[in-house]
Amino acid sequence: MYTPTLRQLEYLVAIAETGQFSAAARRCGVSQPALSRQVREVEAGLDVVCFERRRSGTLVTPEGAVLLAHARRVLAESRALTEAASALGDPLRGRLRMGVIPTIAPSLLPRLLPRLRASLPDLTLELFEGMTEDIRARLLDGRLDLALIALPYPSAGLVSRTLLQEPFALAAPIGHPLDAPGPVTLDEVLSHRLLLLSQGHCLRDHVMQACRLTEGAAVQATSMTTLLLMVASGLGATLVPASALSPSPGVALRAFSTPAPSRQIGLWWRPNAPRTLAISRIGDLIIDSADDLPPPPPMPGPPPLLSAVG
């Protein structure tokens, strides 16, 4: 029975992720002919064609996709073994790979990282910013160790810890009917056009859930910056996480009346993760980091910016 080596599995995953044999060879630090020979050996040994070779790039075959899913799990377990051994010596040192979504990264990371360096100087945090579903896939197959995400979100196969409760505020164009004194209610908001982030952003799902919106009910933007520019240009109003609030030309900010719509910020990790002590310490530091966030712009009766959960 033929069994590929871990190195050969790394070659397969590199080709799938780069889409090219040459790029995969550079990433793995080997020559392209050497990598190609190893891939042919795997395909012959397993009697499966993993890749469709084309001049414009390489495609993963349906059969190859099945094998690659297994390869990623094997490599993840191999890394977990190495990390578990390292953690036996000192779980608070070494490399930890964290995914973070773009609607959290700009506000929390600048405050988290200095605290992390001061509290855990021997721990190196490697960051990956991406959409929640991509982060979840990378976490499940071992390419990430933990994730800083917004909840609720389906998390089957993962452990989650809720850290913070973050209310939303309303951002509306200056002079818009929603640009009025006092807290705003969701019923008021629902009678006007709303702008949302595009599909793939969990913030979109949280806002839609809070406002009871259906698909296709709003104009879409690709980032929070673009979203606020669209608000400033008069295209409509939107909901903004409290940590993302900042004075913006042409934008009026209002707090919601109690109970304000909100989202939760938390961590994900795999149940068998060997670095749970480090992950727990990072969670505590994230809670502490929220204390450093600036208060929102003056609004009548604003909700607290962020509050720890638990």
**The predicted structure's pLDDT at residue 97:** 92
Q: Which domain holds residue 112?
A: 91-310
Same domain, 62 and 178: no
pLDDT category at 225 given cuts 50, 70, 90 is confident
Same domain, 36 and 102: no
Same domain, 112 and 227: yes
In degrees and rounded to multiples of 5, residue 189 shows phi and psi of -65, -40
Same domain, 110 and 177: yes
From CA 157, how far away is CA 136, in angstroms rounded? 10
Q: Give the mean pLDDT of the chain.
A: 82
Same domain, 293 and 179: yes
The answer to the question of residue 202 being in a domain is yes
Read off the pTM: 0.64
Q: Is the pLDDT assigned to residue 124 strictly greater than 80?
A: yes
From CA 29, how far away is CA 40, in angstroms rounded? 18
In degrees and rounded to multiples of 5, residue 136 shows phi and psi of -60, -45
Contact 169, 183 (CB under 8 A): no
From CA 131, how far away is CA 99, in angstroms rounded? 9
The residues facing 194 across adjacent strands are 237
**The predicted structure's pLDDT at residue 298:** 46
The answer to the question of residue 86 being in a domain is no
Omega before 259 within 30 of 0, i.e. cis: yes
From CA 177, how far away is CA 75, in angstroms rounded? 56
pLDDT digits (tens, 9 = 90+) for 157-196: 899 999 988 888 888 889 898 888 888 888 888 888 788 7
**The predicted structure's pLDDT at residue 197:** 72
**If you average pLDDT over residues 115-144, what whole number do you get?**
89
Tell me how far apart the 2 most distant CA atoms of the chain are, in Å: 74
**103: DSSP letter:** T
Same domain, 123 and 223: yes
Domain boundary among 63, 81, 99: 81
**The predicted structure's pLDDT at residue 152:** 79
Q: Coil, strand or helix: which one is 42?
A: helix
Report in angstroms the alpha-carbon separations of 69 from 32, 129, 150, 276. 23, 22, 26, 25
Contact 225, 270 (CB under 8 A): no
Same domain, 17 and 134: no
The answer to the question of residue 289 being in a domain is yes
CATH number, domain of 169, equals 3.40.190.290
Same domain, 164 and 221: yes
Q: Is the pLDDT assigned to residue 200 strictly greater than 60?
A: no
From CA 104, how far away is CA 17, in angstroms rounded? 26
**The predicted structure's pLDDT at residue 304:** 46
The answer to the question of residue 1 being in a domain is no
Q: How many helices (H) and strands (E) does the chain have?
A: 10, 12
Contact 204, 179 (CB under 8 A): no
**Bridge pairing between strands 146-151 and 94-100:** parallel
The answer to the question of residue 283 being in a domain is yes
CATH number, domain of 45, equals 1.10.10.10
**The predicted structure's pLDDT at residue 168:** 84
pLDDT digits (tens, 9 = 90+) for 23-43: 999 999 999 999 999 999 999
Same domain, 152 and 284: yes
Same domain, 75 and 97: no
Same domain, 110 and 25: no
Domain count, the chain: 2
Looking at residue 83, its amino acid is: E
The answer to the question of residue 107 being in a domain is yes
The answer to the question of residue 70 being in a domain is yes
Same domain, 201 and 272: yes
The answer to the question of residue 32 being in a domain is yes
Omega before 152 within 30 of 0, i.e. cis: yes
pLDDT digits (tens, 9 = 90+) for 261-308: 888 889 999 998 878 889 999 999 988 877 655 444 444 444 444 555
